[in-house]
């Protein structure tokens, strides 16, 4: 085996293949950003600290099959988190993309009788298209077949090797191509495949077929990191959400960790990133894939003094519950081995079922997300997925539930906006200008609930629970409908015209009635404005229309503006308030026409 000096020499050769200038800094190898490499070459010491952006990621998705509704759910959750932090005025970065290496991809291309590169070049487009059609504001779309990622992975490998975390050994075990992982004998069993009638060995956890493999490859000394992982979990009890999965992770690590096979012989796996010092081996796809989060954060090229400028460490990884082990055990172990910062949180969501059965492409029990987006629109789907999607428990997908949720929006938020904006007995702009809220007991109680709303939303978003945050907003919407129904401003307004002029046939205290109507309408208008602002991350297009109908200036739609009395200038609609689809927030669905 080559000595450490040999590996340093090989690493230098690898680094010299790049056009970037390297410098040894604080015990780690770093590369300057391409955009300012020349400047740093002249004077590295001139770099000044930069505020770390909020950095959220999705998993990178395998290109061996078409996108499904689970992929849509993941990227929508991540996008809502990104948009919310941008709403707060923070620079926010969302990274998504495709995992294009590994045995699964290689075999899928062979089955399709296509060159594997051409196979990936075609199939990755489905995922970028899905993000675009779901109105996801991603900043990076990474493909693991890109040169920059290959460089980052090989650099990461060499650093692990230099620190003594990689060794060569013979490995035997049950390997699942579908799951891209080895399973111990205790985790597999013999089953009868209902589709073919043949007996096969399969993973007890996922049901995927496994095959016995015996080979010589490289291993990662993960067993040596058990105590450091447990210490990290103890210091960061909310590292994994929800808590039940945090408990599962701690339990798995407590029971012991085995060293991890992190390469495959090139005879079995040729499509991937070669081990830099041994071209007879290909780097294990999960080590390769996890590093994507670092690649798009400029690893290993961070500018000295600005290591967090591109986002790392991630504020939250959004993943499905089926890849918890890789993200919550393997990934932290890899990072700890190199003393790199760990992500702050990993949000692990549950799955979608169809007819209470697990979705499966092989049985045809799947949902095509493109059909759903085309039929219902992106905002309708985003609302449904965030509201009904499970974090702890699986959720059952059904078109009728989508329609039910949309009609609930129509009947609550949509109806509330229509009542206020189209009301004939008052003037919204005059009510806003008055700045007075209803001082009745019911009005005061509603005002207090409205004042508490932004902090409640912020609380749940900080915990990375968009669904819980959105439910807080929708609860206030429902309370506003109850309030306006009880306050009945239309009864008071019947005694004056919409300009506050008394009707001649009614001899009452008209000035008092006008003020009372204005105070009720102002409180309702503030409720609509604040709820509309807070719902923008979930339904950006529909909430833009809502705020346009309320006459809210585009520069006054931030989280800081979601405070009672923060905006005194709205009230004159920026769009036509007429009948038909353009005059309402939630028009009739195309599917209902």
Task: Please return the burial class of 330, using the count of CB atoms within 10 Å of its CB with bins 0-12, 13-18 and 19+.
Answer: buried
> For the chain (length 593 residues), average pLDDT per consecutive 10?
42 42 33 35 45 96 93 98 98 97 90 95 97 98 96 97 93 65 69 70 69 82 97 98 98 94 91 94 95 96 86 97 96 98 98 86 80 96 97 95 95 95 91 94 96 98 97 97 94 65 45 87 98 98 97 98 97 83 82 54
Q: 10 Å Cβ neighbour count for 198? A: 9
Q: Cα dist. 586→354, 411, 575 in Å?
A: 27, 9, 15
Q: How far apart are CA 434 and CA 520, in angstroms?
A: 11
The architecture that CATH gives domain 398-592 is: Orthogonal Bundle (1.10)
Q: Residue 21's pLDDT is what?
A: 31
Residues in the chain: 593
Q: Give the H or E element holding residue 380.
A: helix 378-388
Three-class DSSP category at 289: helix
Phi, psi values for residue 331, rounded to 5°: -60, -50
How far separated are the first and last CA of the chain, in Å rounded? 71
DSSP state of 590: G
Q: Are strands 166-176 and 140-143 parallel, antiparallel or unpaired?
A: unpaired
Q: Residue 333's pLDDT is what?
A: 98
Task: Please return the burial class of 499, using the count of CB atoms within 10 Å of its CB with bins 0-12, 13-18 and 19+.
Answer: exposed
Q: Which of 587, 347, 569, 562 is nearest to 473 (CA)?
A: 562
Three-class DSSP category at 137: coil
- Alpha-carbon dihedral sign for residues 209, 214, 216, 222: positive
Q: How far apart are CA 268 and CA 162, in angstroms?
A: 26
DSSP state of 588: P
533, 547 in Cβ contact below 8 A? Answer: yes
Q: Residue 2's pLDDT is what?
A: 40
Q: What is the DSSP string of 68-102?
A: -HHHHHHHHHHHHHHHHHHHTT--EEEEEEEE--S
Q: How far apart are CA 254 and CA 252, in angstroms?
A: 6
- Alpha-carbon dihedral sign for residues 162, 165, 169, 170: negative
314, 55 in Cβ contact below 8 A? Answer: yes
Q: Which of 415, 402, 436, 407 is nearest to 522 (CA)?
A: 436
CATH class of the region 52-145+350-397 = alpha beta
Three-class DSSP category at 144: coil
Q: Domain-by-domain residue ranges, the chain?
A: 52-145+350-397, 398-592
Residues 6 or more apart whose Cβ sits within 8 Å of residue 30: 22, 23, 300, 301, 302, 303, 304, 307
Instruction: Please name the residue ranges forming H helices in 91-225.
Output: 103-111, 116-133, 147-162
Q: 10 Å Cβ neighbour count for 39? A: 14
Q: 10 Å Cβ neighbour count for 110? A: 13
319, 78 in Cβ contact below 8 A? Answer: no
pTM of the model: 0.86
The domains spanning 52-145+350-397 and 398-592 adopt the same CATH topology = no
């Amino acid at each position: 085996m080559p000595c450490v000096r040999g590996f340093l020499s090989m690493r230098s050769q690898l680094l010299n293949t790049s056009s970037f200038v390297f410098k040894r800094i604080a015990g780690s190898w770093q590369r300057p950003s391409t955009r300012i490499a020349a400047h740093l070459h002249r004077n590295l010491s001139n770099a000044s600290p930069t505020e770390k952006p909020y950095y959220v990621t999705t998993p990178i998705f395998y290109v061996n099959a078409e996108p499904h509704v689970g992929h849509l759910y993941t990227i929508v959750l991540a996008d809502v988190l990104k948009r919310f932090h941008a709403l707060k005025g923070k620079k926010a970065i969302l990274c998504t993309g495709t995992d294009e290496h590994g045995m699964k991809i290689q075999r899928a291309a062979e089955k399709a009788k296509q060159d594997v590169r051409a196979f990936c070049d075609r199939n990755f487009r489905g995922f970028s298209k899905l993000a675009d059609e779901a109105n996801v504001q991603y900043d990076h779309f990474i493909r693991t077949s890109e040169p920059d990622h290959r460089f980052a992975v090989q650099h990461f490998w060499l650093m692990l090797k230099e620190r003594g975390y990689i060794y060569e050994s013979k490995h035997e075990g049950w390997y699942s191509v579908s799951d891209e992982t080895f399973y111990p004998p205790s985790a597999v069993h013999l089953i009868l495949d209902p589709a073919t009638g043949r007996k096969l060995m399969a993973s007890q956890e996922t049901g995927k077929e496994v095959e016995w493999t015996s080979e010589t490859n490289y291993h990662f000394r993960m067993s040596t990191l058990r105590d450091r992982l447990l210490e990290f979990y103890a210091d960061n009890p909310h590292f994994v959400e929800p808590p039940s999965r945090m408990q599962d992770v701690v339990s798995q690590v407590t029971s012991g960790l085995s060293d991890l096979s992190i390469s495959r012989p090139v005879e079995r796996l040729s499509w991937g990133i070669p081990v830099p010092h041994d071209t007879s081996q290909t780097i294990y796809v999960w080590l390769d894939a996890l590093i994507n989060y670092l690649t798009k954060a400029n690893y290993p090229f961070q500018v000295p003094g600005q290591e967090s400028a591109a986002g790392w460490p991630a504020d939250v990884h959004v993943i499905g519950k089926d890849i918890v082990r890789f993200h919550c055990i393997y990934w932290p172990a890899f990072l700890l081995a190199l003393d790199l910062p760990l992500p702050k949180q990993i949000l692990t969501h549950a799955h979608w079922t169809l007819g209470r059965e697990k979705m499966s492409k092989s049985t045809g029990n799947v949902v095509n997300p493109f059909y759903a987006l085309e039929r219902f629109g992106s905002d309708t789907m985003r609302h449904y997925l965030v509201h009904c999607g499970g974090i702890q428990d699986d959720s059952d997908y059904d078109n009728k539930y989508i329609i039910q949720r949309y009609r609930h929006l129509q009947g609550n938020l949509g109806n509330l906006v229509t009542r206020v904006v189209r009301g004939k007995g008052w003037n919204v702009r005059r009510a806003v200008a008055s700045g007075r809220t209803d001082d009745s007991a019911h009005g005061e109680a509603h005002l207090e609930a409205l004042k508490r709303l932004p902090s409640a939303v912020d609380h749940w978003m900080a915990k990375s629970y968009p669904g819980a945050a959105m439910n807080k907003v929708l609860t206030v919407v429902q309370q506003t409908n109850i309030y306006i129904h009880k306050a009945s401003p239309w009864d008071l307004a019947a005694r004056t015209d919409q300009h506050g002029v008394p009707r001649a046939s009614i001899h009452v205290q008209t000035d008092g009635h006008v003020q009372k109507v204005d105070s009720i309408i102002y409180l309702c208008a503030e409720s609509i404005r604040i709820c509309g602002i807070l719902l923008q991350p979930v339904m950006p297009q529909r909430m833009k229309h809502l705020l346009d109908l309320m006459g809210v200036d585009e520069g006054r739609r931030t989280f800081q503006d979601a405070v009672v009395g923060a905006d005194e200038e709205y009230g004159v609609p920026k769009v036509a308030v007429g009948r038909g689809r353009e005059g309402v927030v939630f028009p009739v669905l195309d599917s209902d026409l």
